[in-house]
Amino acid sequence: MSETPLARRTAGAGLGTGAGVGTPRVGVDRGLSRALLSAGDTAALSALLHDGARHPDGYAVFALEERLDEYRARDFVTAATGLLGAALPQDARGALLRDVRDRGMRLGEGATGRYSDSRDGGNLHTDGPHMPGEPPDRFLLYCVHQAADGGELVLLHRDALTERLSPDAVRVLGEPFHFDRRGGDAWAEPTVVRGVLTPGRISYLRAYITIGHRHPHVPDLTAEQLAALDELDSLLDDPRLWRVERLSPGEFVVVDNRLLCHGRTAFRDTPEEPRRLMLRTWIREAARTDEARTREARGAQGDNGAPRRAN
Ligand SMILES: [Fe+2]
């Protein structure tokens, strides 16, 4: 188990004090990855992952010593996710492992277009703010192929935001917003209602809020709400507040989705190279699974008491 890279990062640049590029990687040696893939002793890898996941910065980047092909990488991601908690479904079909690649979609396009299907940059957000119940606690993102250009991961801690937001914006962002659910069943509620800044969590994706408030019977965003969202966006767009990571093939990041907004720089695939492909899982922390399940069961009731189906 290697704590040194994480300790070094703690001693380095603080959050919100300027862009940092390329945090030290936590090495995952061949023995640890093979033990996971062969159902061997996973205690050491579990300890390594949990240690990284608990880092005060809210994320850690890991590097596999052994290069896995895409199919073994899928098995590794699934098994590593299981060490951190329970995998959550990421779409209407219940996919537990989602390919993040350019599917030619634009953010918010049509009824179902999602950031993870596009090559857009910017638009820092958290994952799953549109899902019923609580959004994922963490996500794991594994790099199979990186883009020819761009595609850096951008991270911004909520503390860097709350330190800089006006008191009015903090207050308004704590009040309910409607997030479009990006498809789902015709008979279900079309939006999920939650605050952007709630105790211990930030939940945000501007396009889903904009679309959510266009639904019939959903009130328009007020001038006060728009001002608070614009203030938040101006901070999220400020590169001086970013941490920037470029994942190489065989590297993966575990990110606390309650504490960090994330995005990426726009990317470009070329015909000569394999297209950018990341594998992503959404994670409910093991220690919170039972408690969260209870809350989600309550949260799965629509505003009018009508049941909502998971997205
Ligand atoms: Fe995301």
Q: Is the model's pTM score more than 0.85? A: no
Average pLDDT of span 14-23: 48
How many angstroms is it from 211 CA to the middle of ligand 1? 17
d(CA 146, CA 144): 7
| Strand duo 243-245 + 20-21: pairing | parallel
pLDDT at 62: 96
Q: Under DSSP, is residue 42 helix (H, G, I), strand (E, B) or coil?
A: coil
Report the separation in Å between the CA atom of 200 and the middle of ligand 1, taken as the mean of its atom positions.
19
What is the reported pLDDT for 288? 59
For residue 303, what pLDDT is reported? 37
**pLDDT at residue 306 in the model:** 37
Ligand 1 centre distance from Cα of residue 112 (Å): 15
Task: Give the integer Cα–Cα distance in Å for 250 and 123.
Answer: 26
Q: Across residues 176-180, what is the average pLDDT? A: 96
Reduced to 3 states, what is the DSSP secondary structure of residue 85? strand
> Distance between CA 276 and CA 11 in Å, rounded?
32
Higher pLDDT, 266 or 303: 266
Of 2-11, 191-200, 206-215, the range with the lowest mean pLDDT is: 2-11
Give the C-alpha separation, 256 to 254, whole Å. 7
Q: Is the pLDDT of residue 180 over 70?
A: yes
Give the start-to-end residue ranges of the domains of the chain.
4-155+237-285
Side chain identity, residue 111: A
Q: What is the whole-number distance in angstroms between the Cα of residue 58 and the centre of ligand 1?
A: 15
Q: What is the DSSP letter of 73?
A: H
- Average pLDDT of every residue of the chain: 84
**Banded pLDDT at 112 (limits 50, 70, 90):** low
Reported as a single tens digit per residue, the pLDDT across 272-286 is 888 899 999 999 997
Task: Give the mean pLDDT of 125-150.
Answer: 93
pLDDT at residue 237 tops 50:
yes
CATH class of residue range 4-155+237-285: alpha beta
Across the range 147-176, mean pLDDT stands at 95
pLDDT value at 7 more than 50? no
**Cα 41 to averaged position of ligand 1 atoms, centre (Å):** 32
How far away, in angstroms, is 224 Cα from ligand 1 center? 26
Percent of the chain with pLDDT over 70: 80
| pLDDT higher than 60, residue 247 | yes
Span 96-125, mean pLDDT?
75
305 CA from centroid of ligand 1 (Å): 30
